[in-house]
Amino acid sequence: MEVHGAAVDFHDEFGRWHAVRCDDDEPGAADMSAALDLRFVLSADRVDALPDSRTEVAVVGRSNVGKSSLLNALADRKNLANTSKTPGRTQLLNCFQLGEDATVVDCPGYGYASVSKAMRSSWQRMIDTYLLERKPLTMVLVLVDGEIGPTPLDAQMLDWLQANGLPHSVIATKHDKVKAARREKRKRELAAGCGLLPADVVWVSAANGTGIDRLRGLVRLWLA
């Protein structure tokens, strides 16, 4: 698949994404990396309350991994999605529209310990149902903490997505927090923990913008 100079080989038999090359010198690359003009639409507590959408990308990951911060960085906005030092801030499926009929959904984080077990399992059910039943969903971005991930819960989520044949990509967050001297080793470890090669993981930092242009291009392709 060739789109605006980016060669894309979408996913393997498990729906995992592989071998994406984005060459910034190619014509059209600048357009692909422009800030995503995301507009907040609504927050839903169940799948049938979601907006009409032709195509959709979901952002999932452990609580506090940086999902909402990443959406703000992709949109180049400070407060589009609420971020917080307190884990568990995002409790609903927060929907952001891109263009006419594409949607990006910020999901509640998993593994947030300070709420009741019943509450946690009801969020998890909501996310699982959403991921399984949402027809327009084309890609699930699984955010993994670049410093410490993947955690056992991340591995469980990746296994579950794979078992259910849902297309997904691993995005490692907080690149700025990994010291330069440790990066290559950390990249190998994180990828291996996810059952991937280092080149299959997109590293980003919402804090300093590392990888954000590239991910914007990929999100555009996934929503095309």
Ligand X SMILES: Nc1nc2c(ncn2[C@@H]2O[C@H](COP(=O)(O)OP(=O)(O)OP(=O)(O)O)[C@@H](O)[C@H]2O)c(=O)[nH]1
Site for ligand X, rule CB under 6 A:
61, 63-69, 83-85, 87-90, 108-109, 173-174, 176-177, 205-207
Q: Are strands 137-145 and 55-61 parallel, antiparallel or unpaired?
A: parallel
| CA gap 219, 77 in Å, rounded | 17
Does residue 90 bind Mg ion (CB under 5 A)?
Answer: yes
User: What's the per-residue H, E or C state across 5-51?
Assistant: CEEEEEECCCCEEEEEEECCCCCCHHHHCCCCCEEEEEEECCHHHCC
Smallest separation (angstroms) from Mg ion to the CB of 115 = 14
Smallest separation (angstroms) from Mg ion to the CB of 87 = 9
For residues 37 to 76, the per-residue mask of contacts with Mg ion, x marking binding by CB under 5 A and - elsewhere, is: ------------------------------xx--------
Residue nearest ligand X (C-beta atom): 109
Q: Please give the backbone phi and psi of residue 54, each rounded to the nearest 5 degrees, phi first.
A: -85, -35
Three-state SS at 69? helix
**Selected range binding Mg ion among 5-13, 48-56, 83-91, 156-164, rule: CB under 5 A:** 83-91
Q: Say which DSSP state 144 is in.
A: E
Q: Pick from ligand X, Mg ion, none: which does 99 bind, CB < 5 to 8 A by kind?
A: none
| CA gap 123, 102 in Å, rounded | 24
**Residue with smaller CB distance to ligand X, 53 or 69:** 69
What are the residues binding Mg ion (CB under 5 A)? 67-68, 90
